[in-house]
Every structure is written in C-alpha cells, then in structure tokens.
Structure 1
Amino acid sequence: MDDSKVRVCYALSYFHPLESGAERQALAQGVELVKRGHSVQVVTHAVDGLARDEDVQGIQVHRWVRSSRVGPLFAVSFVAGVIRALRRLRGSYDLIHTHQGLWEAIATGLGRQTFGGVPTLVQPASSGYYGEAEELSRTKGFPLLRRLILRNHAFAAISADIEDQWLRLGVPPERMFRMASGVDAVHYRPGKSEIESALLPRPRVMFTGRLHPQKNLMRLLDAWPAVAKLTSANLILVGQGPEHDRLKARVAELGIADRVQFAGAVNDPADILRAADLFVLPSVAEGMSNSLLEAMATALPCVASGIGGNVDLIGEGVGRLVIGDDPAMWSDALIEILGDRDHASRMGATARHRVETEFALPIVVDRYLTLYRHLLAERSTSRSDRPW
C-alpha cells in the first residue's frame, strides 16, 4: 500500500468558519488528511475580522484573495488573486484541488503553467441551475472561460449528474473521475438526543440546511397541510437563509404554524438529527448533499428530490425519491413512510449501512488519496505522454 505523504492545496471562494456544502466537505476531508500526516493548505478569500493566516485543525488557511464586489471586476480580481496566491506558495504543495468549479477552475486553468507543473484537480460542487456548469454557460465570455477551465489536468465528479454535465462541456472521459462526498459516521450516528424538549412532539420530519430557493422549501410547505391532516407529524426546519421570512409568511397563509417549527441555525446538526424520525430534502439542485449524508448516517429514512447527487445516495431501501414538483407527490411520500414505522426503521438501517460501507469519511478520503497519487504518478511521466 502506498503510504507516501501528499501535500495538497485547496482553492475555493470561502472556507471555515464561512461554510456551505463545498466548504464543509473541504474542511472534513482536509482534517482527515492532516490526521494521516498529509499536508493541507487552503487559498481563499480574505475576510474582515478573520486572520490572514490561520491554522484550522492542522489545515494552513491563507485568506489572501481580495476581490472587487462590482460586477465583472469580481471575476477578474478573484482569478488574479488566486493565481498570485498559488504562485506565492509554489513549491509547498504537490497538487491543487479546487472544491468548486467556476472561477477557481478558471484561475487554475489560466495559471497552471506558473504553479510548477503540479496537477490541478477541479471538483464542481453542484449540478442543475445552481451548479457551475450551467452558471458557466450563462456567463459572458463562455467560450473562452470554458477553454480555460478545460486546461486543468483532471476533474472529479461527486455525482453522475455532474459527470454528465461536464462531459457535455467537453471534459475528455479519461480526465474525468467519479468521486463522492464523505461524512463522519462516528459523529453522525443514531442515539438519544439532548434537545428533545426544545422541539415540537414526535413524529418529526426534519430538514437541515440553508433556507434558500435552491432547497425548494416552499414546495415542501405546500405539501404539509395534507401531511398534517392525515398524520400527527411536525415539520422542523433547521437553518437560516434568505428565504426565512417568505417561508414564515407562507406557513401563516397555509394555517400550519402550530405544525411547523423554525429551529434556527445550529453549529453541529448531529444532535438535532437524532431527534428526527424522517429527513426531507426537496432541493432543485445538489452536488452530493452533506445534509443528506448526515441524515443517512443518523439512520433516518429519507425523502429527497430525484435530482443531482440525491439519485446517487437514495438507492433501493434507503428512502424515497420524488420526481417532479407536485406538492401531492411530496405529501404522499411523506405520509406513506410516516404510516409504516417498521418500514421506516428498515430504511434508516439500510441508509446507515450504506454510509458505513461507501460514504464514511475515511473511505472517501482513501479514494481521493488514490486519485492524488495517480495524478502525481502521471506527472512524473514524459510530458509528451500526457493528455493535456
């Protein structure tokens, strides 16, 4: 077994403590790599009030990138800032891994010859309308930007949908690698919750994540009156975001305020997930959802939209995929699972087993290390033999 140490530099717009899905996954994987003796650095945005350089659980974070907030100047300044930072760090890393696939990937594609010839691995965070491939196609200068991104050495797709989109954009199949996100299955586990008394009574259907249009929570609320009528379940929405006020107003309009709880943001969703009976994720776009993985690790049956990485996670016996946007389809799926506790319990156990065997963080990081070493081995071959 190859036990050589790897020095990897992540590039992404923001990093801990400013987090969404990609940032959380980069932190989790980076910490696991550091625990194994590898070196992890991060190049990211400068943030007022946060240190320019910081050790975060062994990861060396460099908040050096400053960008304009004005239209096209953002892109130019961000790309230039990433290139400058990576050039400054040249020699301290063996490989660059972007945990997002738009401006970070443009920066590594444009500047790759100045980074010492190290491999550059691009990992788009999502698919669908909010994903990088579709955002790229809507961006002025798309043909040139696409060519710059395709200059990167390799691409990691965390879902079949992402893989398909980027192959259609022109990534050669031999430079595309199917990967996955991981979850700490020791931390996220079934068990007793310490916050039962702070929540509406069981059974509880729970969502965790950003209250953002991407999560399509308005459709879930439209489905809830039927669920409330035929079951005793309560809906718990965990998180904050720009949709908060609109969602609260919709709850009032529907007359379901006594059956829906806005629990706010939590730093660590592990304990509140243990207080749930069923997890729901109605998003219109996902890469491979951290929230869905966390719910599966907690042995919750899951109802999720049939899009993006949800399709890769919710296999036979794990839960239910809902295809389409009809509220009745959502309410039917929720009512059916809530009405059969034994079946729901079996689904949760199957979800937990799937995480333990395929998506536990150590397993996923093993896969990334294998890919890193493959790319580094290719680097050592003759330049004339490379596909880039």
Structure 2
Amino acid sequence: MEKYRDQKVRVIYLNLSIVFLFILFLVAFFPLGAYFFTFVAVSVIAISKIDNQIKKSSLFFLTLFFLLVSIVINEVSIQRFINGNDDFTTYYNNYLSLLNGNMSDIFYFGGGFEVGLPLISLFLTKIINGPYPYVTQIFFIFLFFLSMCVLVEKNTIFRNDNKYLLLIWALLLFKITSMLTIERQAVSSFFVLLAIFSFSNTKKGLFLIIGSLFHLSAVVVYFLVNMILRVKTFKSAFGIILLCLIFLVFSSVLLQFLYNLFPNEKLGYVVYFINNHEYIINEFVKSTKQILYVLPLLIFAIVFKIKGHNWNLLPSLFLFVSLMLILSILPGVPTRIFMPIIFFLYGFYYYDFFCSFNQKNQVLIIIAFSLLFTIYKVIIPGYYLRYPMVETYPFYYVSDFYQSQGNVQRSELPESIIINNENKL
C-alpha cells in the first residue's frame, strides 16, 4: 500500500514538473500563450483537493508568479508616449525630474498636497537609477498585483469561500492597462477600498488620508463607492438614481458654485465642458466601454432573478451600471469617481455571483474568459507593438524592458492615433 502511494506521489510530481516546464517554455517563447495556460493551471490548482495546504499554496503561488510574469510581458509590449491622453507621460516626466535631483517636484501634483506618487518615483530613482519608463511600469504592475492580493485578504463585502478562486477572478478582470495610464488614482483607489473594507473608523481615516496623498478625490470617491457597494435593495438603488437625476438638473449651477469656492483643474474641466455635446458623447462611449465587462454578469443575474434566484449584489451592480451611464453627462466624472470598482472589483462581483455554481463549472467559465481575453490581446493593435508575440529565441523581450526615454513634451503628442499592428508575429 505504501509503495503504491509513493509511486502515485512520484507520478504527480512528474506531471507537475512537465506542466511547469511547459509554462516556462511558453513564457520564454510565447508569453501570451503562457498567460492563457497559467490561468487554466492556477484555476485547476485552486479547486484541487490537496490535503497539505502548504503544498497547495506553494503550487498555487508558483503558478501565480508565472501568470504575473506573463502579465508583465503583455503590458510592457504596449508602446507609450504616442498619445497625448496618456497621463503616464506626465508621471514619467516627474520621475525624470526627480532622477535629475529636482526635489521640489515632489510637490508637483494637487497643489503640493498629492505627494504620494512622486515619493514612490523618488524611491524608484534610487532603485532603477536610469531613464527606463518600462522598468518603472514593471514595478507598478507588481505593486498593483500585491494590492489586489491585499484586497482579497481584507475583503469584508464580497463572498470569499475560496480565496484562491476569488483572486483568480480578480486578476482575470484586473484593469492593469488602464491603471498604468493613471497611476495616482489607481493607488488612491486601493486605499479607498481598504477604507471601505475596514471596520475601524481610525483605519478608515488613515487609509483615506493616505489615499488623498495620491489623489485629493479620495474622500468623495469613498462615499460614492461605499454607497454603491452597501446598496442591498432595488428600492434604495432607484432612490439614489432619482436623487442623481435631480442633481443633474441643477449640476451646471452647483458645479460652478463649487468651482468658485474650491477652484481646481479637474472641476474646472467639468464646468467648462458640461454643455459640450461632443465631450458628453465621448464620455458616454467611455462609460459604455467600461460597463461592457460587467454587462454579461448583470444580464445573467437579472435572468436568474426572474427565475427566482436572488443575488444580493444585483442592486449594487445595477446601481453602478446605471450611474456610469447617467453621469456621462458630466465629462470626465463617471470613469474617475468609480475607478475603485472599475480597476479592482469587477472580478469580485463575478466571483460572488458564480460562487453558487459548482467549482468545476467556475473553472470552465474562467477558462472561457481567459481565452476570450487572450484573443482580445491578439486582436487589439496596441499589444505586442514593441516586440513580437512569438520568437524563436528565449526571453527575447527582456532587452526591450530597458529602452531608455528622455523627457516627453506631452502637449506635442497627438490626441488620437491609428495603430497599424496587423502582423504581431
């Protein structure tokens, strides 16, 4: 009996060795393939019945590491400094200024109060010590990844029956590409969610203060996002929607009054373009693109409700989608104030809904989604613009990580461009 058990263990370890060698091969030559395959592998490990939890955790996080590496390669393949709408250009210029010893630029953002990101950039100047924008992005990808792990651990609103699966869902719908364009609000959103997940008022206050050091909107965003996440009934959701519609009727006068009291660039932008139909249509399109990620979930949940299966987060998701569309009349507002949900929580909503499904079915759904996002990265021209998707020599992309870049005049970059990247091979 013992001999049979030892033989079985050896077979398992042999199979695992083959799997990890295959993943390493994909990372080296075909990283987008590694992205898909590691989602498959890590999902299977998440529901596997391994008695030794230490071994299971080790296998899970080792596979997760390969997933993280493949995400890094995917994201760094996107060319920066070609579009004037990318805030990363401003952040990188600030990094360069600090690299050159201009310490006063720590107080560059938010009237000198938003020192959070410049302090991180100052730290990076000591570690990276060079004009390497894509290396700084790799650091932020790791930072956002760790932030998601922390949120999964600290989560107090969504179900967490299987934290492994919750983390996989969260990473699957993680908006890292967008987060790398507006890093200040991305980091601020993390602290806003920590405040929402905390029971202690002291911790809430501390997290909001830290979040405000990255973006002054943290307190306002906290109240709005917290309101959405706490809604449990459609009666409350429709009440909030009604109040929002009433606010919009008087929004032009109210926002002008607020701008006169607290003049700032972002509020001034909304006031200036509030009656500009082109900007409103553009904002509506942006909001629609963002909610497309959760629209299938909303439809599924409504169908299940009609059939008598209630999901307690349906009013919350319905309210979020509704406000994203309604507030599109205010240019730049919905996608900014609901960033914590857009950046971090889509996967939490999906996991909470599919928690009632059989775990094997969950894995099949995750595999389907990961295949869809893999195909998406093949189709969208921005990915693998800096280096090919497949190559014949290993780790061919590493040298491109260290591409140097001097100061970029953002005002001279075009607002929109057409990328021709049909042949990614």
Structure with the bigger percentage of strand: 1
Q: Same fold (TM over 0.5)?
A: no
The structure number with the bigger radius of gyration is 2
Which of the five TM-score ranges fits, normalised by the shorter chain? under 0.3
Using CA pairs under 8 Å that are at least 6 residues apart, name the structure with larger relative contact order, 1 or 2. Answer: 2
Q: Pick the structure with more helix per residue.
A: 2
TM-score relative to the length of structure 1: 0.24
